[in-house]
Amino acid sequence: MIDPVTLAVLKGRLEQIADEMDATLFRSAFNPIIAEAHDASHGLYDANSGATLVQGKSGLPVFVGAMAFAVKAVIDKAQADGNLAPGDVYIFNDPYDGGTHLSDFKLVRPYFRNGEVFCYLASVGHWHDVGGNVPGNYNPVATESFQEGMLIPPVKLFEKGALRQDIVDILRANSRLPGSLYGDLSGQINALELGDKRLSELLDDYGDAVVREAFRELQARAARLMRANIEELPDGTYSCEDWLDNDGILDAPLKIALDLTISGDTMTLDFSRSSPACAGPVNIARSTAVASVYVAIKHLFTDVPANAGVLDPVSIVIPDATLLSVSAPKPVGGYTETILRVIDVIFGAMAKAAPDRSNGCAYGTINALSLAGHRKDGRRWVMFSFFGGGHGGHPEGDGLNHGNAPISTATIPPVEILEAAYPVFFTQWALRPDSGGPGRHRGGLGAIYEIELLEEHAEVFLFGERGRYAPSGVVGGGKAALNKFFYEQADGFHEPPMASKMVGIRIARGQRLRLETPGGGGYGDARTRDPGAVLRDVQLGYVTREAAARDYGVSVTEAGALDPAVAEDGRKVPES
């Protein structure tokens, strides 16, 4: 059995391999969504099952669970073909086999040691444009995957170390931005090369048997720790429901429902009461749903190592009839919006079982926004980006202001990068007052983004959520503000008829777009919040005087002090 010190050293060395792979891609990618926002991930995966062995700390956690399915798809493909060899690298983006959506391209490389596959190295990154009806690929009115982009099944990009240029040519021909695609692809190839080199160095230092034992022990420890955490929770069934605004096609809400059952040291998450598969692109594949469960669990049980052992004591029930387990060609381009709601209902159910572990819902939408057009010299430009909002209040304090979605450790692309790369000017990039849900611990604030077009014309596409169903608080905390989007035309500003999704918006030079993103839900009764904390919120501009009085019962004077005419602590005396 491996000793604890050696195990800790190997854990660090293995994580460093994945971290270096992340850094290699982030520094070399052409696409700001990877280079700046870090919408990518790398890891090491089991040679037989594809299960996650090691994950990088800088990539997107949601990819970790999904990539286990992606690697298993490659294992099955290689076994069926019977021609796996050293130097092979598979590439594909099939969202039904490997999770997420068509923009996320996976590269999977077997690592051979003494003639046998020791493990797999894998890289996934969000490419800038992969064809389809909408530049940037977030098509809110897609009714089948063919309208979302090219779909590539698992095929060999490298065969025995030789690049298949025909595959590269096919990929480039199907993108509006072939240069960006080629740069991102090259970055992923180099990341896998580095991973191969670093893993060889590690095995040379410690030996194959010791590292294999470390893999087994790390997974076993994650499973044991997860069971111990679950066993501390009270047995019972805890339910939660939340809603998506619509599917982009039919303006009707879609339910995401969870019944969470805790029994001893096991936990079952049953999503059977969720809405059936829909026409629009907020469906997700089962592998994506499982990945989102993994992310939520890691938020709730932060001390458990990030590998496949996390899910050993967890059962996940997702009937094929629901929108959480669809197959081709159902559209899945807006998967981010749906998995955020899956995470929200897990937080909501857990708040009933263990309030000290959960938190208010985060803002719940990435607000995928695409602007596209042509420059004066005829060159095409496509700005695709996502935007931030507030995180939920939690047992230890207020939620994070203007953070990224809890599906990731990605960062919001900086305004300087967006303005340098595209013909746009941000006339506003600010926190949004009163957007966080009231609570003993207030939800974090959303943001206001206003974008002015500098080119002659552009077409705009928005794929968002939370326009009609605000992020909820927990343990008596209040809801956050709704998501708002406005686009300027000759007669003034307009809002999308379906609240959060729209295609075909055309704007001219000088016209603006405006996003007002939600904050996070509150934690605990707002009337128990320290009046001094409310006063500070007002002084900082986080909460208006009106909201302080309405939501917290705290009166703040125009001079910015607690109102002595109401009570010594500024709290209004409850009416008898």
Q: Could you read off the pLDDT of 490-530 as tens digits, one per residue?
A: 999 999 999 999 999 999 999 999 999 999 999 999 999 99
Q: In this structure, which amino acid lies at residue 570?
A: G
Angle of CA points 34, 39, 43, to nearest 5°? 105
Q: Please determine, for residue 413, whether its predicted confidence score (pLDDT) is greater than 90.
A: no
Please report the pLDDT score of residue 129 as a whole number: 96
DSSP track, 416-440: HHHHHHSSEEEEEEEE-TT-SPPSS
Angle of CA points 386, 271, 523, to nearest 5°? 60
Q: Closest Cα to residue 323, out of 285, 360, 357?
A: 285
Please report the pLDDT score of residue 569 as a whole number: 66
Q: What's the chain's average pLDDT? A: 95
Q: Return the SS3 of 337.
A: helix
Angle of CA points 554, 574, 553, to nearest 5°? 15
DSSP track, 101-151: -TTEEEEEEEEEETTEEEEEEEEEEE-S---SSSTTS--TT-SSGGGT---
CA distance 431 to 445: 6
Based on the number of CB atoms within 10 Å of its own CB, is 451 exposed (0-12), middle (13-18) or buried (19 or more)?
buried
Return the residue matching tokens 């180099």. 190
Share of the chain above pLDDT 90, in %: 91
Based on the number of CB atoms within 10 Å of its own CB, is 146 exposed (0-12), middle (13-18) or buried (19 or more)?
middle
The pTM for the full model equals 0.94
Please report the pLDDT score of residue 576 as a whole number: 40
301 CA to centre of own chain: 18
Q: Dihedrals φ, ψ of 38, to 5°?
A: 65, 40
> For the chain, how long is the longest CA-to-CA vector?
82
CA distance 182 to 171: 9
Based on the number of CB atoms within 10 Å of its own CB, is 297 exposed (0-12), middle (13-18) or buried (19 or more)?
buried
Return the residue matching tokens 């047995």. 235
Q: In this structure, which amino acid lies at residue 542?
A: Y
Please report the pLDDT score of residue 407 as a whole number: 80
Instruction: List, in sequence order, every residue forming a beta bridge with 516; answer none if it has no partner.
Output: 448, 484
